[in-house]
Amino acid sequence: MILTLPIATSTARQILVERGRDFIYNDFEEKGSGCFYAPVSEVRKLKDKGVLAPTAINPAAIYEGILVKDIDINSVPENSPKRLTGCFIGEILRRNGLLTEEITVCGNTVASLIAAGRIQVADDYVNTFLSSVQYNQDLRETWGTAYDKAMIRVAEQLAMSLAA
């Protein structure tokens, strides 16, 4: 599937209705934790299945050409939002059938996954939207704020292209 801007933004709005605009994914510093495209329980299952296979020497291993983070999933607190859901981008990908096992266990940004052809998007506006959502979420912004800032960034990009 090729992800279009209308599909990505519509999916994001559905997620905001379900989770609330004030939902914060990265709500506190968690030692050994990071951002996950899926709930940590799903990442753990794939790791146990052998999908994630970093070496002791190289904890950030490469799995079929994409970065894989070897993080201590057990260090994620029981009350962490990361146990309930994947990140905002992971949820958008999952709901559109684009969240593969390799993306689930990877540590790449959405922009690098798009550049590597792991996620196909219709145009650069989709890349801008997804990258901006991810960037702002990772700064501990609410998902509503991350969405709003991404929409502003896409509008700015569109205005610049029309002015050119």
Amino acid identity for residue 71 in this structure: I
Residue 127 lies in a domain: no
Task: Centre a 10 Å sphere on the Cβ of residue 10 and count the other Cβ atoms it contains.
Answer: 14
SS (H, E, C) 11-34: HHHHHHHHHCCCCCCCCCCCCCCC
Closest CA to 112 of 50, 153, 65: 65
Length of the chain: 164
Residue 164 lies in a domain: no
pLDDT digit string, tens, across residues 36-67: 888 888 877 777 776 643 333 334 444 444 44
Residue 75 lies in a domain: yes
Residue 159 lies in a domain: no
- Domain that residue 29 falls in: 2-122+138-144
Residue 49 lies in a domain: yes
Amino acid identity for residue 154 in this structure: V
Residue 128 lies in a domain: no
| Residue entry with tokens 């951002």 | 35
* pLDDT interval class at 73 (50, 70, 90): low
For residues 70 and 107, give the distance between their C-alpha atoms in angstroms, rounded to a whole number.
9
Please state the pTM of the whole predicted model: 0.85
Residue 83 C-beta-side C-alpha neighbours within 13 Å: 9
User: What domain count does the chain have?
Assistant: 1
Joined tokens for residue 154: 């896409």
Residue 50 lies in a domain: yes
Residue 71 has pLDDT above 80, yes or no: no
Residue 13 lies in a domain: yes
